[in-house]
Structure 1
Amino acid sequence: MRLATWNVNSVRTRVDRVTAFLERSGVDVLAIQETKCRDDQFPHMPFEAIGYEVAHVGLNQWNGVAIVSRVGIEDVQIGFDGMPSWSAKEGVDPAPEARAIGATCGGVRTWSLYVPNGRQLGDPHLAYKLDWLAALRENAAGWLAADADAQIALTGDWNIAPEDGDV
Structure 2
Amino acid sequence: MRIATWNVNSIRQRLEHVLRYLKDEAPDVLCLQEIKCLDEAFPRGDIESLGYNITTHGQKTFNGVAILSKMPMEVMRGLPGDDSDTQSRYLEAEISVPKGVVRVASIYLPNGNPVESEKYPYKLAWMDRLIAHTKRLLMLEEPLVLAGDYNIIPEPRDVHDPAAWANDALFLPQSRAKFRTLVNLGLTDAFRAVSDAPKQYTFWDFQAGAWPKNNGIRIDHLLLSPQAADLLQTAVIDRSERGRDKPSDHVPVRIDLAI
TM-score (norm 2): 0.56
* Alignment-derived partner of residue 211 in structure 2: none
- Paired with 2:22 and 2:125, the residues of 1 have a C-alpha distance of 34
Aligned length: 155
In the alignment, residue 148 of structure 2 is paired with which amino acid? Answer: G
In the alignment, residue 82 of structure 1 is paired with which amino acid? Answer: G
Per-residue CA deviations over 1:87-122 (Å, capped at 9, x if unaligned) read: xxxxxxx66111001111232110001000112544
* Alignment-derived partner of residue 136 in structure 1: 130
In the alignment, residue 102 of structure 1 is paired with which amino acid? Answer: E
* Alignment-derived partner of residue 166 in structure 1: 216
Per-residue CA deviations over 1:31-88 (Å, capped at 9, x if unaligned) read: 000000001100010110111110001121100000001122x22000121147xxxx
SS at structure 2 position matched to 1:136? helix
Gaps of 5+ in 2: 154-158, 160-164, 166-204, 206-214, 218-259
Query: Over aligned residues, Cα RMSD in angstroms?
Result: 1.9
Contact 1:83/1:136 (<8 A) preserved: no
In the alignment, residue 70 of structure 1 is paired with which amino acid? Answer: K
* Alignment-derived partner of residue 246 in structure 2: none
- Paired with 1:129 and 1:152, the residues of 2 have a C-alpha distance of 23
* Alignment-derived partner of residue 91 in structure 1: none
1:124 aligns with 2:83: no
Gaps of 5+ in 1: 85-93
Report the CA distance shift for 1:83/1:8 in structure 2 as closer, same or farther (over 3 A): farther
SS at structure 2 position matched to 1:54? strand
- Paired with 1:49 and 1:43, the residues of 2 have a C-alpha distance of 11
List, as ranges, runs of 4+ consecutive aligned residues in structure 1 with deviation greater than 3 Å.
Answer: 120-123, 161-167
Same amino acid, percent of matched pairs: 37
Report the CA distance shift for 1:83/1:2 in structure 2 as closer, same or farther (over 3 A): farther
Report the CA distance shift for 1:109/1:22 in structure 2 as closer, same or farther (over 3 A): same
Instruction: Flag the structure with larger Rg.
Output: 2
TM-score (norm 1): 0.85
